[in-house]
Amino acid sequence: MVKIEGKYKEVIDKTEWVAIATCGENGPHMVATWRDYVRALDNSHSCRTL
């Protein structure tokens, strides 16, 4: 799992929902979720909900 930091963390801390778009070999993919379900790694590498 990738640690969320910098500008991404700043935006997530101030919003109620998150939309993520990626583009891979099979074309674009869009997902959305509530901020409470976004997970990040803390310094001990254990998962926690933001």
Give the pLDDT confidence of 1-50 residue by residue, as tens digits: 567 778 877 877 787 877 888 998 989 998 887 766 665 544 444 444 44
Q: How far apart are CA 21 and CA 9, in angstroms?
A: 17
Cα 2 to Cα 20, 26, 27, distances in angstroms: 14, 22, 22
Contact between residue 38 and residue 12 where contact means Cβ atoms under 8 Å apart: yes
pLDDT value for 38: 66
Please give the DSSP secondary-structure letter assigned to residue 46: -
pLDDT at 5: 79
